[in-house]
């Protein structure tokens, strides 16, 4: 596992997703309640992009069919056995520079 910088914190909008493709991963980055979250971008139902959706009650909602996945757990609302991958996230505060959102990604 390795920490990878995804974007600057300042580009995130509360309750909205941002798509990031890095090191072979397609990710959705969200800011909810002032905290950053990183999940897989692809909805398992029909492959919709979760990054273009909004956050409702701590869940990323796919715009295609309204499937809602917990930002912390990755679980589909009402169906906990259906889930997407979530990633540990941290903020990297660099002296005199912008704060970066990082995710811990598996290395191969």
CATH at residue 25: 2.102.10.10
pLDDT at 108: 67
For residue 107, what pLDDT is reported?
83
Domain boundaries, position 58: 2-105
Q: How many domains does the chain have?
A: 1
Looking up tokens 């679980």, which residue turns up? 75
> Mean pLDDT, 10 residues at a time, over the chain (108 residues)?
96 97 96 97 95 96 96 96 97 93 91
92: nearest Cα among 6, 2, 21, 1 = 6
What is the value of pTM for the model shown?
0.94
pLDDT of residue 37: 98
Q: Which residue has the tokens 């505060």?
A: 93
* CA 14 to each of CA 3, 17, 47: distance values in angstroms, whole numbers, following the listed order: 23, 8, 24
């Amino acid at each position: 596992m390795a920490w990878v910088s995804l974007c600057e914190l300042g580009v995130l909008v509360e309750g909205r997703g941002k798509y990031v493709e890095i090191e072979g991963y397609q990710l959705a980055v969200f800011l909810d309640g002032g905290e950053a979250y990183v999940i897989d971008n692809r909805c398992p139902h029909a492959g919709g992009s979760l990054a273009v959706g909004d956050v409702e009650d701590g869940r990323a909602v796919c715009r295609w069919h309204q499937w809602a996945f917990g930002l912390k757990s990755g679980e589909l609302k009402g169906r906990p056995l259906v889930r997407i991958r979530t990633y540990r996230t941290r903020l990297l505060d660099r002296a005199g520079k912008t704060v970066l959102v990082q995710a811990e990604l598996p290395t191969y």
